[in-house]
């Protein structure tokens, strides 16, 4: 139990969790502005503006850099991992979302032709546009600079 309490007092972890949470809340606000509807599910949804994954990993890398020093090997590791996560969010996961969108169109067209397919729709919003990743990344850096 003591270890858990110490972990929750870790400023790098607190910074990362705060960056993630505030980015997720921002997604709800962006949805309200764009669609005029409130969807609490956006709090736990991947994809959308801004990228909470990017916010989290850039806040970790920034916090580690500020605490351990920018020359530290652990800072270099954190930056490389942040870049991989951000690349994945805008690349691989975005492509997977696009594939899901196309497959859902194909399934919908098959249903219109009365063919029997018993598949649920695939989740399409799993990746990010480059701007969503950039905004999330900048948000994470800002949060780390405020907290650390």
Classify the C-alpha dihedral 57-8-41-29 as positive or negative.
negative
pLDDT at 114 over 70: no
At residue 65, the pLDDT reads: 98
Q: 127, exposed or middle or buried, with CB in 10 Å at 0-12, 13-18, 19+?
A: buried
Average pLDDT, the chain: 85
Distance CA 75, CA 38 (A): 38
pLDDT digits (tens, 9 = 90+) for 12-48: 999 999 999 999 999 999 888 988 888 887 777 777 8
């Amino acid at each position: 139990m003591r270890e858990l309490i110490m972990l929750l007092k870790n400023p790098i972890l607190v910074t990362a969790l705060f960056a993630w949470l505030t980015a997720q809340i921002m997604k709800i606000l962006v949805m309200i502005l764009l669609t005029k509807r409130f969807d609490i599910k956006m709090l736990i949804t991947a994809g959308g503006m801004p990228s909470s994954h990017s916010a989290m990993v850039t806040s970790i890398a920034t916090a580690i850099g500020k605490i351990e020093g920018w020359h530290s090997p652990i800072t270099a590791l954190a930056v490389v991992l942040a870049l991989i996560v951000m690349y994945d969010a805008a690349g691989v996961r975005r492509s997977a979302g696009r594939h899901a969108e196309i497959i859902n169109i194909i399934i919908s067209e098959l249903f219109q032709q009365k063919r029997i397919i018993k598949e649920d729709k695939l989740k399409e919003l799993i990746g990010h546009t480059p701007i969503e990743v950039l905004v999330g990344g900048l948000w994470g850096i800002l949060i780390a600079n405020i907290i650390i």
